[in-house]
Amino acid sequence: AQKITQTQPGMFVQEKEAVTLDCTYDTSDQSYGLFWYKQPSSGEMIFLIYQGSYDEQNATEGRYSLNFQKARKSANLVISASQLGDSAMYFCAMREDTGRRALTFGSGTRLQVQP
Amino acid sequence: GAGVSQSPSNKVTEKGKDVELRCDPISGHTALYWYRQSLGQGLEFLIYFQGNSAPDKSGLPSDRFSAERTGGSVSTLTIQRTQQEDSAVYLCASSLGRTSGKGQYFGPGTRLTVT
């Protein structure tokens, strides 16, 4: 069974600094996708970034990058130049491409950006 | 274009009553998912629809839960004889396909409170 672990329930970062949110996963599948979502206090889940298991390059989307280390089964999210609007819950998720097609989510990390 | 929409945004119901939650996915998205987000359980997969295929109901917690998708578009999640443990935010998501690298796009959710 697949599992996502986020070991940081809460993180603080100063505005304009970079922050890394940790995510490790467990799967026996060779083909899978890894996702990060942001959930602000409004409750909406916002898709941030995707990494495929066969992608050789780390994914980047603007200020977001995914540090993918396949052998270690980690998919950490790096947010550069943090902004106050980045304060939110962040969820790491995985989708196995050969089994259940739904996302399995980690427990989330609450990020607070301080001015 | 329009995102995923859900209605109602909030629903308060008495224990034992039936409720219907509606999801209108992004136009053209063939995959539709229902998830539940509660304090104790985090984000859980409930059910998945892909085109005209039989739905994957493996995440439904009991036979009181059912869902349908009409015409490959709008979906309704029905909870019969609601219980207090059904209180949660019910999230709907859609995607272009089951292995879309662009992730699943979520609606704003329906907050269900069973009294």
Nearest CA in chain A to B40: A107
Whole-number average pLDDT of chain A: 93
Residue B1 has pLDDT above 60, yes or no: no
Report residue B92's pLDDT band, with 50, 70 and 90 as the boundaries: very high
Of B74, B71, B73, B42, the residue nearest B59 (C-alpha) = B42
Tell me whether residues B43 and A102 touch, CB distance under 8 A: no
Tell me whether residues B45 and A104 touch, CB distance under 8 A: yes
- Cβ–Cβ under 8 Å, residues B71 and B51: no
Tell me whether residues A37 and B106 touch, CB distance under 8 A: yes
pLDDT in tens, B3-33: 999 999 999 999 999 999 999 999 989 889 9
Structure tokens at B6: 């859900």
Residue A62 has pLDDT above 90, yes or no: yes
Residue A12 has pLDDT above 60, yes or no: yes
Chain B residue numbers with beta carbons less than 8 Å from the beta carbon of A45 are 91, 93, 106
Residue B71 zone, left/alpha/beta (φ > 0; ψ -120 to 50; rest)? left
Instruction: Say what the pLDDT of residue B100 is.
Output: 58
Of B38, B23, B6, B25, the residue nearest B100 (C-alpha) = B25
Torsion sign (Cα): A65, A67, A70, A75? negative
Q: Coil, strand, or helix at residue B63?
A: coil
pLDDT in tens, B39-75: 867 899 999 998 888 889 989 999 999 999 988 799 9
Pick from A42, A45, A46 the residue to mutate for testing the B interface (most B CBs within 10 Å): A45
pLDDT in tens, A64-106: 999 999 999 999 999 999 999 999 999 999 988 775 578 899 9
Q: Which residues contact A57 (CB under 8 A, 6 or more apart)?
A: none
Of B17, B29, B90, B41, the residue nearest A45 (C-alpha) = B90
